[in-house]
């Protein structure tokens, strides 16, 4: 399985959640969407362990099978379609989550997240 790792699951992994660690270890590939990377780094900078958190993130990103996932022009098409769907449903979600969802839709990834906002997008393959 190819996993897109959400911010909350990265944090769970760093806190030693055995199930999350196992799921990440079993994944064929783990992709960290750019929006997740930005959220993590923003959190690091307002916390009191910024340097150690950044070092841990760098070690994780350097592992084989882990990569950063950036948006492309095609991603913007998926973003727009999901945005319209959510608006028509009356269930908008935060912008960063929409970018994550668009990347998952574009690349047919399994989204690994605890965030219930993604439940409004049943077409996404999710691992809770």
Task: Give the count of alpha carbons within 13 A of 103, CB side only.
Answer: 24
Pairing mode, if any, of strands 29-33 and 66-69?
Answer: parallel
Domain boundaries, the chain: 2-122
Kindly state which CATH superfamily the domain 2-122 is placed in.
5'-nuclease (3.40.50.1010)
Give me the pLDDT at residue 67, please: 98
Cα–Cα distance measured from residue 49 to residue 65, given in angstroms and rounded to the nearest whole number: 26
CA distances from 59 to 14, 64, 67, 89, 111 (A): 12, 10, 12, 40, 22
Give the pLDDT confidence of 29-40 residue by residue, as tens digits.
999 999 999 999
Average pLDDT, the chain: 97
**Gap between the Cα atoms of 117 and 56, Å rounded:** 27
């Amino acid at each position: 399985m190819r996993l897109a790792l959400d911010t909350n699951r990265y944090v769970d992994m760093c806190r030693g959640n055995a199930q999350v660690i196992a799921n990440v270890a079993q994944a064929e590939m783990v992709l960290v969407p750019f929006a997740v990377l930005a959220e993590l780094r923003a959190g690091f900078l307002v916390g009191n362990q910024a340097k150690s958190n950044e070092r841990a993130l760098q070690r994780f990103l350097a592992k084989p099978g882990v990569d950063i996932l950036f948006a492309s022009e095609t991603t913007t098409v998926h973003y727009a379609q999901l945005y319209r769907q959510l608006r028509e449903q009356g269930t908008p979600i935060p912008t960063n989550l929409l970018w994550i969802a668009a990347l998952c839709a574009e690349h047919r990834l399994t989204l690994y997240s605890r965030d219930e906002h993604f439940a409004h997008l049943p077409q996404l393959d999710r691992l809770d």
